Chain A
């Protein structure tokens, strides 16, 4: 059964039916002839049921107007008319999406438990509520594609294929962690799975992602490898969208038509700073067209909508048409981190988004559409429980890194530690890594 977004309002639990589905953002679309509908973009989302709409920036160079889509109250929003063949998913796809989101949620819940039991420390930022964004995007990617994240990276790692054991071990600071216990919660990296980090400072991952996309272009055009088409997805939040690196990278990505998708996980809050108190123009999607790329706004609590946008943005990047900026309206059910008392957000706002829980929404859709039945979903739930428990057991049983690991990995080439007074490279001394690094 095909899934047609607007005709099944029951899928979007708690929100009004959105007007538009994803439109084609290829440069062949006649952007100048979009039906332009005035719409007051509802900037006060909290406490009100919002109308979700997509706005497409002018990607077509032939009809590009100077200063394209500028931000003003008479902002003309392009809405896509109803399409018969909207995103359809198969039973298998549905189960994959469900399983990935449940894995994300269960894993994060277990993290909270482990943190309060003193198994993990420091700053731990959980992803509860935002699963649709990670699943929606990452499940569209190929293994060779890259994902770049922030400190809220556990679920991006899991979606990209990093085993739960390796992530949990890393959180426990064990030697079997994905980064040998050297990174921690905020620095998940996996070369095997194309996860480029895990960054503590907001914004600093975006240039890294831009570099990975640049490498694809370089591979095609300089190294003449026609098959190089790896796409990079950069995830970051609303707070980051006021940071210089965001704008600098939007510029460079559009300038060189890099195969990158900038995904904004707009959960409205940067610790205790409301997005509206920090941002002169809160509609982040508008900033895409300012730099010459489409800006899409999507309901980030609905995995199918996110997936639809993702498929298009990824296809666009892969065929060489350049970057896309996607703003996902989403919400984190927990505080900014496990240390955040979360006192500033109003209960009504939290309740509004809790009612839009992406996992419950997908579950409802899958059951109502007849693609799956209860036992399918329950067996997935059970499977995930086992995976998460196994991850904890594995992490518990794993050893802490030995002292000798302290100085490994400081340099890829340990000659970088230099030549000691005896004339030998310090790294030639087997006892060196157990000592102190001294230059």
Chain B
């Protein structure tokens, strides 16, 4: 265990950097007894990959409610470009799992019209970036139509798809649309990061009467986890406490959660006690969970994959300042991706997103 120098605070018990008298921690995720929300399963459960969890959630809701249907490119016979809808067309038919022509704006609008008149469609963007073509419909009709119609029409639609920076997919396939859509009034946005919350959020989003955008990540589809057998949903508006701690609040979502967890291993070994929160709900923010954490740790680090400018982190920072200014002992740090189109070259691509060593350094800086 490496000794860490005292950093000049008063109470020794809560000093960051002081080595804990415990063994080397190899896993940053809290042990089962401390866990609050990870996997409260009463039965043994079953192991799934993240894309299978999404598929299970989708299938279960389609079985439950015949109005639930899927629309998108290659969702039917092809089974979805990331296999989330695999097998569903065989089971439910070509109309319930609709292979659309390549016309994002129009089929998203079609899903909205169908939702207005009684169906509950799920629109898949083959890559979230393609939904830029549907921005007209997502902004004007999906987000705003409930309001402009004076509440007459509801649009219980789910828009989902893979986004984020992958492995050298090029700039256009590596976009983070959460920042582009966050201003649209009337939309809810959630990001899944584990098989457990993927299934739970998928089901909750389908059941919601509001239009929900569910952000998945290209690199997370093969994450494996044991999830409960019984029916469960995750709350669309609640953040997930991944690891309780005392020194710093790290707010993150999607793939960066895993980078944070990786960094946390190093941090814990160096004597830090980070509290890690996966915000899950990108819009609206769960200010209760976030606030309680800040009141405890007084330091905030946001780690996100969005661009620096106008990203989720920017909004979150601003929200925290509005609500919890008095509880902060240090300026809020925000680690975001570089404001650059994602380059193809490997090392450059790595440099655009936040990597674990940067997170470690940021925490060390924040806790000085």
Residues of A within 8 A of B (CB): 146, 148, 177-184, 187, 189-191, 196-201, 204, 206-215, 217-219, 221-223, 244-245, 248-249, 251-252, 255, 408-413, 415-423, 425, 437-439
Q: Are A221 and B95 in contact (CB under 8 A)?
A: yes
Q: How large is the interface on B (under 10, 10 to 19, 20 to 34, 35 or more residues)?
A: 35 or more
Q: Of B113, B153, B186, which one neighbours A189 at CB under 8 angstroms?
A: B153
Q: Output the nearest chain B residue to A182 by Cβ-Cβ distance.
A: B150
A131 to B100, CA, bound (A): 36
Nearest-neighbour CB distance to chain A for B211, whole angstroms, equals 9
A200 to B139, CA, bound (A): 12
Which residues of B, 302-355, contact A by the 8 Å Cβ criterion? 315, 319, 322-324
Q: Are B150 and A207 in contact (CB under 8 A)?
A: no
Q: A252 with B106: in contact, given A215-B117, A410-B185, A413-B210 (CB under 8 Å)?
A: yes
Over the window 55-72 of chain B, the binary record of Cβ atoms lying under 8 Å from chain A Cβ atoms (1 yes, 0 no) is 000000000001101000
A160 to B268, CA, bound (A): 67
A221 to B151, CA, bound (A): 29
Most A C-beta atoms less than 10 A away, residue of B93, B140, B147, B185 = B147
Nearest-neighbour CB distance to chain A for B22, whole angstroms, equals 32
Q: Are B148 and A252 in contact (CB under 8 A)?
A: no
In the complex, the 3 A-B pairs of residues with the closest C-beta atoms, listed nearest first = A211-B113, A207-B109, A418-B284
Q: Are B116 and A252 in contact (CB under 8 A)?
A: no
A183 to B237, CA, bound (A): 28
Which residues of B, 95-123, contact A by the 8 Å Cβ criterion? 95-96, 100-101, 103, 105-119
Sample of 17 more A-B contacts, CB < 8 Å, known A218-B96, A415-B236: A146-B117, A184-B148, A191-B153, A196-B116, A204-B109, A208-B141, A217-B95, A244-B106, A245-B105, A248-B101, A252-B103, A408-B151, A416-B186, A416-B236, A420-B288, A421-B288, A439-B285
Most A C-beta atoms less than 10 A away, residue of B114, B119, B136 = B114
Nearest-neighbour CB distance to chain A for B135, whole angstroms, equals 11
Q: Output the nearest chain B residue to A181 by Cβ-Cβ distance.
A: B150
Whether B209 sits at the interface, judged by CB under 8 Å, is: yes
Q: Are A252 and B101 in contact (CB under 8 A)?
A: yes
Q: Are A210 and B149 in contact (CB under 8 A)?
A: no
Q: Output the nearest chain A residue to B185 by Cβ-Cβ distance.
A: A410
Q: Are B150 and A180 in contact (CB under 8 A)?
A: yes
Between-chain CB contacts (< 8 Å), 19 pairs: A178-B150, A182-B147, A183-B148, A189-B149, A204-B137, A207-B106, A207-B112, A211-B116, A218-B114, A222-B95, A251-B101, A252-B101, A252-B107, A409-B147, A410-B146, A411-B209, A418-B237, A421-B291, A439-B315
Q: Are B185 and A437 in contact (CB under 8 A)?
A: yes
Whether B17 sits at the interface, judged by CB under 8 Å, is: no
Q: Of A207, A218, A417, which one neighbours B284 at CB under 8 angstroms?
A: A417
Q: Output the nearest chain B residue to A207 by Cβ-Cβ distance.
A: B109
Nearest-neighbour CB distance to chain B for A106, whole angstroms, equals 25
Q: Are B149 and A183 in contact (CB under 8 A)?
A: yes
Q: Are B103 and A251 in contact (CB under 8 A)?
A: yes
Over the window 275-288 of chain B, the binary record of Cβ atoms lying under 8 Å from chain A Cβ atoms (1 yes, 0 no) is 00000010111111
A181 to B185, CA, bound (A): 18
A218 to B94, CA, bound (A): 11
Whether B188 sits at the interface, judged by CB under 8 Å, is: yes
Q: Are A207 and B237 in contact (CB under 8 A)?
A: no
